[in-house]
């Protein structure tokens, strides 16, 4: 069940929203149970076959968490062994379902190269959302071991893991962000301000996905799929296709994150910010503080810092950065293209830190330096997006050659792929709208601050009453436009991770 579907917008979410607050008026615990069961239904709609794995993971990790927080007579060494055991189980399950096919495929390549008979492989289906709910629970276990967890309600833990706005594609949540909200009685009381604001944020995210991300994705797919089928892109097509994908993945994933925040807010739950205008970044370090913030924070707290962070000298710091990004790339997918994507960003971060330490130091960059830094950052990000999206290393190489003009420079955009199936004016209008939003507009999640900022800009606080109805009218109009685009199956890009 997609957020951008009739079933979700007109059936599932209204029923859950109304039922949650009707039950919450009588019992907060029953409302939490209802929301947990609704979240399991939401996941089961996607894949009933994967539901037992999710429930098994939840039960195992809840049990492990209790063992780590209880039993005061256990030694520190015993608790550490328990933590290691639980982490090995979680990572082992993730490795089997996500990386077994990748490992066996590479073994087969090696066997064929050696002239031996390859395996007869059985493909293992990837359960949707397994990376996100596994990382969420790994963070929970580490927090238990560190003594940060005091909530022991199974209902709240079930809801923490399965809360449907974030279950399939994040954000990656921390126990401390969610459990106090589930324990707060105010969460289960209807708040019209939160619901109206949440609906507005949801609709804005829906617009990002349907009105900008999906149309640009048609052009990106035309180029990337054509290259996968053996067509070498010329310079115009290569650059336009890469730019289209650069904006598509932003609006697709940012739109999902906005919708998740909006849905959570309607239900009285505040999810963390996951995007903070990352394409405004003037260096790659800043980019990773703004892009997929929940994953960046997880990798920093549970991988980079345990590896030693920056506490063991510059060389070790650079190595830790590289390893962290390499594994971050592998987390996104079981393919060498994702490994290379992570390696590229690891190298980018190393260069950025060396530049800051040896060249820029504490000097404040001027306007020209900011502009050059932004241009270089965006170029580096787009170069890395090529291998992130490409189906193979060979396809990525063809695109890089096209970007350098090595495949030819003649012809109009996408002429080598049979021409553009859509009006070019529509494409460039969408492209310009997308660039304006990512480079000028603030993040959608800051919507609650737009009204006072507009009032301050106009200098007329008495006009405050105008903004809520104007915002409501704009939200309704945008929702109507989005609903007119529903109907075709258009999953979010990060569902595959």
pLDDT at position 69, please? 84
Helices (H) and strands (E) in the chain, counts: 21, 0
Distance, CA of 239 to CA of 404 (rounded, Å):
9
pLDDT at position 477, please? 92
Distance, CA of 19 to CA of 190 (rounded, Å):
11
pLDDT at position 435, please? 92
pLDDT at position 151, please? 75
Contact 434, 251 (CB under 8 A): yes
Residue 435: both structure tokens together: 């660039």
Instruction: Give Cα 449 distance to the centre of its chain.
Output: 24
Average pLDDT over residues 437-449: 75
Contact 27, 19 (CB under 8 A): no
Residue 305: both structure tokens together: 């810092």
Identify the band that residue 466 occupies on the pLDDT scale cut at 50, 70 and 90. Answer: low
Distance, CA of 426 to CA of 159 (rounded, Å):
42
442, with CB counted inside 10 A (0-12, 13-18, 19+), is middle
pLDDT at position 250, please? 94
Residue ranges of alpha helices (H) inside 146-283 are: 154-162, 164-167, 175-183, 192-207, 214-228, 235-266
Identify the band that residue 493 occupies on the pLDDT scale cut at 50, 70 and 90. Answer: confident
Q: What is the pLDDT of residues 468-478, one digit of tens each?
A: 777 788 888 98
Q: Which residue reads 């345990």 in tokens?
A: 306
CA angle 376–255–403, rounded 5-degree value: 35
Statement: residue 446 has pLDDT above 70: no
Which range among 186-200, 284-298, 419-433 shows the weakest confidence by mean pLDDT?
419-433
Q: Whose CA is closest to 125, among 48, 46, 50, 41?
A: 50
Higher pLDDT: 193 or 92? It is 92
Q: Residues 400-410, buried b or exposed e (16+ Cβ, 10 A)?
A: bbbbeeebeee
pLDDT at position 168, please? 81
Identify the band that residue 448 occupies on the pLDDT scale cut at 50, 70 and 90. Answer: low
Q: Tell me the C-alpha to C-alpha distance, in Å, between residue 115 and each of 74, 109, 112, 196.
A: 54, 10, 5, 65
Which range among 2-6, 56-60, 305-309, 424-428 shows the weakest confidence by mean pLDDT?
424-428
Q: Tell me the angle at which helices 336-355 and 367-389 cross, rounded to the nearest 10 degrees.
A: 160
Statement: residue 122 has pLDDT above 70: no
Element (H, E) at 324: helix 314-332
Q: How many residues are listed for the chain in this entry?
A: 497
Query: DSSP label at 138?
Result: H
Q: What is the pLDDT of residues 67-104, one digit of tens each?
A: 888 755 455 777 888 899 999 999 999 988 888 877 87
Query: DSSP label at 169?
Result: T
Q: Which residue reads 């999206």 in tokens?
A: 389
3-state class (DSSP) for residue 47: coil
Distance, CA of 157 to CA of 155 (rounded, Å):
5
Largest CA distance in the chain: 81
Q: What is the pLDDT of residues 354-395, one digit of tens each?
A: 988 888 777 777 889 889 999 999 999 999 999 999 999 999
> Per mean pLDDT, which of 212-221, 407-416, 483-492 is the most reliable?
212-221
Average pLDDT over residues 145-160: 86
Residue 117: both structure tokens together: 């008979």
pLDDT at position 449, please? 55
Statement: residue 235 has pLDDT above 60: yes
Q: Whose CA is closest to 178, among 67, 48, 36?
A: 36
The dihedrals phi and psi of 322, each to the nearest 5 degrees, come to -65, -45
Q: What is the pLDDT of residues 34-47, one digit of tens each?
A: 999 999 999 998 88
Virtual CA dihedral for 82, 171, 45, 96, nearest 10 degrees? -40
pLDDT at position 126, please? 80
Average pLDDT over residues 399-410: 89
> Per mean pLDDT, which of 12-21, 166-175, 289-298, 359-368 is the most reliable?
12-21
Write down the catalytic residue from 332, 345, 370, 394. 332
3-state class (DSSP) for residue 275: coil
pLDDT at position 137, please? 92
Mean per-residue pLDDT of the chain: 86
Q: Catalytic: 332?
A: yes
Contact 201, 447 (CB under 8 A): yes
Distance, CA of 425 to CA of 196 (rounded, Å):
35
Omega before 171 within 30 of 0, i.e. cis: yes
pTM: 0.89
Contact 172, 132 (CB under 8 A): yes
pLDDT at position 79, please? 82
pLDDT at position 402, please? 93
Element (H, E) at 298: helix 293-299
Q: Which residue reads 């710091």 in tokens?
A: 317
> Per mean pLDDT, which of 168-172, 398-402, 413-417, 438-442 is the most reliable?
398-402
């Amino acid at each position: 069940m997609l957020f951008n579907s009739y079933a979700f917008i007109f059936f599932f979410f209204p029923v859950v929203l109304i039922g949650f607050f009707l039950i919450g008026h009588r019992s907060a615990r029953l409302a939490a149970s209802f929301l947990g069961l609704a979240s399991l239904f939401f996941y089961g709609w996607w894949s009933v076959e994967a539901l037992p794995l999710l429930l098994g993971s939840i039960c195992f990790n809840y049990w492990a968490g209790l063992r780590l927080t209880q039993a005061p007579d256990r030694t520190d060494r015993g608790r550490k062994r328990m933590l290691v055991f639980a982490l090995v189980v979680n990572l082992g399950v993730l490795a089997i379902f996500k990386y077994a096919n990748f490992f066996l495929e590479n073994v087969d390549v090696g066997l064929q190269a050696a002239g031996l008979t390859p395996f007869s492989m059985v493909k293992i289906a990837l359960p949707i959302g397994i990376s996100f709910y596994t990382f969420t629970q790994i963070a929970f276990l580490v927090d238990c071991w560190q003594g940060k967890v005091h909530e022991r309600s199974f209902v709240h833990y079930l809801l923490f893991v399965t809360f449907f706005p974030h279950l399939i594609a994040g954000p990656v949540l921390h126990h401390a962000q969610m459990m106090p909200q589930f324990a707060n009685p105010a969460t289960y009381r209807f708040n019209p301000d939160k619901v109206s604001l949440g609906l507005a944020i949801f609709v804005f995210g829906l617009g990002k996905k349907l009105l900008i991300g999906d149309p640009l994705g048609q052009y990106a797919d035309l180029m990337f799929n054509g290259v996968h089928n053996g067509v070498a892109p010329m310079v115009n097509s290569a650059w336009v296709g890469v730019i289209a994908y650069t904006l598509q993945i932003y609006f697709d994933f940012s739109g999902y994150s906005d919708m998740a925040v909006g849905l959570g807010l309607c239900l009285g739950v505040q999810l963390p910010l996951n995007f903070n205008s990352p394409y405004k970044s003037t260096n790659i370090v800043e980019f990773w503080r703004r892009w997929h913030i929940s994953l960046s924070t997880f990798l920093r707290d549970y991988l980079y810092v345990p590896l030693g962070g920056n506490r063991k000298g510059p060389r070790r710091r650079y190595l830790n950065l590289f390893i962290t990004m390499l594994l971050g790339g592998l987390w996104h997918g079981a393919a060498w293209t994702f490994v290379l994507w992570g390696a590229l960003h690891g190298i980018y971060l190393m260069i950025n830190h060396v530049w800051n330490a040896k060249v820029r130091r504490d000097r404040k960059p001027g306007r020209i330096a900011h502009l050059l830094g932004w241009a270089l950052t965006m170029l580096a990000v787009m170069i890395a997006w090529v291998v992130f999206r490409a189906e193979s290393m060979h396809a990525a190489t063809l695109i890089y050659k096209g970007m350098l003009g090595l495949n030819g420079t003649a012809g109009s955009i996408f002429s080598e792929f049979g021409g553009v199936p859509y009006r070019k004016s529509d494409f460039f209008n969408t492209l310009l709208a997308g660039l304006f939003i990512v480079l000028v507009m603030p993040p959608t999640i800051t919507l609650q601050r737009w009204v006072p900022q507009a009032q301050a800009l106009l200098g007329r606080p008495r006009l405050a009453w105008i903004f809520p109805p104007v915002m409501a009218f704009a939200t309704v109009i945008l929702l109507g436009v989005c609903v007119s685009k529903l109907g075709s199956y258009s999953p979010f890009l990060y569902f595959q991770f």
